[in-house]
Amino acid sequence: MLQALVTAFGTASGGAALPVSMRCMEENLNIDSRITRFVLPLGSTINMDGNALYEAVAVIFIAQLNNVTLTLTEVITVSFIATIASLGLNSVPAGLVSIFVILSTVGLPVKDIPLVITADWLLDRIRTSINVLGDAFVASTVSHYLELKLKETDNKLIKNEEEKEGRGRKGFNNDLKKQLNNPLNSSRHHSQDNNTQLISWQEQAMIDRLCGDITLNKVIHI
């Protein structure tokens, strides 16, 4: 997954690193392509682990900067809101947008957000790499639980295809036998017809010959 992480860090975009993540997991980790092509695109949209951590830590940092001590309930609220807000973010650099919402919800001032923006170019790359790595973990977990079921399904499909091919070959062989037998039968009937025609021709020739002899005898007697 190193190539995918480097791509995510360099581009700061999970969408740009998605094809690289698919190739790394399919070729290097031997994850089924049906899993990677379903889990990874879905994860790049809703599984924003890095964004959720970044937003929660940024809000807590601003609170401590203003000498505001957050209670356990407020910390849980900030973490929950950051997690929910990260689900709506696209796989592009946009982590600072939801911080305004979280700060307003908790009642903290938004004037200190520029302090976070100053280092956002680096933090954005780090949280994008975390997002890509989290998607890879989810895909590996899904593959671990569904690998046997996928193999069983593949074996059933292969068995059904072999049975269909077997029935198709059997039917083809039967049709071929019929086609091979029909010319033999037709040739037999044809030979029988030829024999019958030959016998009929010989009988007709004998009758004509007898008629000719009788006519000749009558002429001689006359």
pLDDT for 188 equals: 47
Q: Over the chain, what is the mean pLDDT? A: 72
* 97 contacts 89 by C-beta, under 8 angstroms: yes
Phi-psi region of 107 (alpha: psi -120 to 50; beta: other; left: phi over 0): left
Residues with Cβ < 8 Å from 97, sequence gap 6 or more? 89
Among 27-36, 77-86, 158-167, the range scoring the smallest mean pLDDT is 158-167
Provide the pLDDT for residue 190.
47
pLDDT at 209: 64
Q: What is the distance in angstroms between the CA of the first residue and the CA of the last residue of the chain?
A: 123
pLDDT computed for residue 56 by the predictor? 83
Give residue for tokens 């908790």. Answer: 106
CA distance 131 to 81: 18
Q: Is the pLDDT of residue 21 over 80?
A: yes
Q: Look at residue 95 and tell me whether its pLDDT is greater than 60.
A: no
51/93 Cα distance (integer angstroms): 10
| Residue 131 neighbours by CB under 8 Å, 6+ apart | 8, 14, 43, 44, 47, 48, 49, 50, 51, 91
The domains of the chain are located at 2-162
Q: Which of 52-56, 71-75, 98-102 has the lowest mean pLDDT?
A: 98-102
CA 1, CA 25: separation in Å to the nearest integer? Answer: 7
Q: Which CATH class is domain 2-162?
A: mainly alpha
pLDDT at 107 over 60: yes
Assign 91 a pLDDT band (cuts: 50, 70, 90): very low
Q: Is 98 exposed, middle or buried (0-12, 13-18, 19+ CB in 10 A)?
A: buried
106 has pLDDT over 70: yes
Three-state DSSP at 52 gives helix
DSSP 71: P
Residue carrying structure tokens 């499909």: 157
Question: pTM for this structure?
Answer: 0.61
Closest CA to 4 of 139, 131, 92, 89: 131
| pLDDT for 75 beyond 80 | yes
Angle, helices 33-46 vs 120-221, to 10°: value is 140
pLDDT given for residue 221 in this prediction: 52
Position 187: which residue type?
S
Q: Residue 214 is encoded by which pair of tokens?
A: 């009788």
At 176-221, the pLDDT tens digits run 555 555 544 444 444 555 555 544 555 566 666 665 555 545 445 5
